[in-house]
Amino acid sequence: MKTIPPGSTIGIVGGGQLGRMLGMAAAQLGYRIHVFAPASGPANDVASAFTEASYHQSHRLAAFAEACDVVTYEFENVPVGALALIADKVPVLPGLNALEIAQVRYAEKAFVQDLGGRTAPFGVANDFEELIPVLERIGVPAIIKTIRMGYDGKGQARIDAPGDARQAWHAVKRQPSIVEGFVDFSHEFSILIARGHDGASVTYKPTWNVHRGGILHRAVVPAPAAIAGQAAEAAALAERVADALDYVGVLALEFFATAEGPVFNEMAPRVHNSGHWTIEGAQTSQFENHIRAICGLPLGSSALTAAGVEMENLIGDEVERWPEILAERGAHLHLYGKDEARPGRKMGHVTRLIG
């Protein structure tokens, strides 16, 4: 693929905060962005053009593609069929194979197992009758998750005893689901890798992720020793995944640190919340490296800019802390411009450099 030079237009499918931060990184390198989304969102604030349309409106998608030099996406639940409609008109990166695998939870785990990665024991239940034998094989406690969609703890339920199965099935709205056995872990962490058209890649330091209510609360670098000792194996798996997908852009893989080694949880074929610290904490942010990768530019260094970094998400009305955060020496505040601070909604984040 030829280099897409500054001054070109990057299409972003999805209008959320990840699109906003991608747009800001693109603008720094001299690109324009064109957002395609069903409704106005945070990315619009930094866009030079916006198409408001359903992902199923093929004529609007075609016009959007004609206006862009390359297209990327900022969330993994965008309909693959929508992007397939435009893939012959404009490069769509990362490729659709990554999106197809990441959207189906059991396919994702099987794919990683084939590449030598560890996963939790799992099975598939398309209806309640299939759920019971899966639970008998895997055991309880277990987690049931819808095969498609769902994030930040949504679309899933815990099963502590066989008698909880029916309630859990209704909690996931009787949708085809994956059932996962519990993993005994000490920490959760993620590996972010940026890979270019030529196969060159850079990997960021492993990030310790601390969740609260199923939503990422803090991301910390450097990670504790329990994670650091497993980072090389996890990063090697991330590289195999990226190579197998012929991936272009930033890819995030989430892991559990266990006594047996890193256990793969899930992947996101996009920039990721656990990598927001890279804006101030790395020499090249995940957002800039994603733009560099999809445009065929050399990747930037992922080295740290400080001895340590901590990112804290501002969820719901936590955003009202903005005055005290601005008064805090060394704190870097990012607000997403959302108009309503609902419970569980990511309204912004703050990054603190340490040392």
Examine residue 42 and say whether the peptide bond preceding it is cis (omega within 30 degrees of 0): no
Closest Cα partner for 275 from 309, 227, 315, 224?
Answer: 309
CB distance 220 to 307 below 8 Å: no
The two beta strands, 177-181 and 122-125, are antiparallel
pLDDT recorded at residue 4 = 98
Cα-based distances in Å from 61 to 37, 58, 74, 280: 10, 5, 16, 35
Number of H helices, E strands in the chain: 12, 18
Q: Determine which helix (DSSP H) or strand (DSSP E) holds 24, and give its type and residue range.
A: helix 17-28
The two beta strands, 207-212 and 215-221, are antiparallel
pLDDT recorded at residue 150 = 54
b/e map of 148-174 (b: 16 or more CB within 10 Å)? eebeeeebbbebeeeebbeebbeebee
Distance of CA 170 to the CA centre of its chain: 27
Cα-based distances in Å from 226 to 46, 116, 181, 256, 315: 40, 21, 22, 10, 28
Whose tokens are 């339920």? That residue is 157
- Please list the helix, strand and coil fractions of the chain in percent, rounded to the nearest 5, in that order: 35, 30, 35
The pair of three-digit structure tokens given for residue 285, joined into one six-digit string: 């942010």
pLDDT recorded at residue 244 = 98
Q: Residue type at 300?
A: G
Could you say which DSSP state residue 320 is in? Answer: G
- Which residues of the chain fall short of a pLDDT of 50? none
Whose tokens are 């075609």? That residue is 62
Q: What would the pLDDT profile of 130-146 be if each residue is shown by its tens digit?
A: 888 888 888 888 889 88
Domains of the chain: 9-92 (3.40.50.20), 121-181 (3.30.1490.20), 187-354 (3.30.470.20)
Examine residue 79 and say whether the peptide bond preceding it is cis (omega within 30 degrees of 0): no
Phi, psi of 96 (to 5 degrees): -70, -20
The pair of three-digit structure tokens given for residue 213, joined into one six-digit string: 């209510």
pTM confidence score? 0.93
pLDDT recorded at residue 152 = 53
What is the DSSP annotation of 64-84? Answer: HHHT-SEEEES-TTS-HHHHH
Whose tokens are 């862009």? That residue is 68
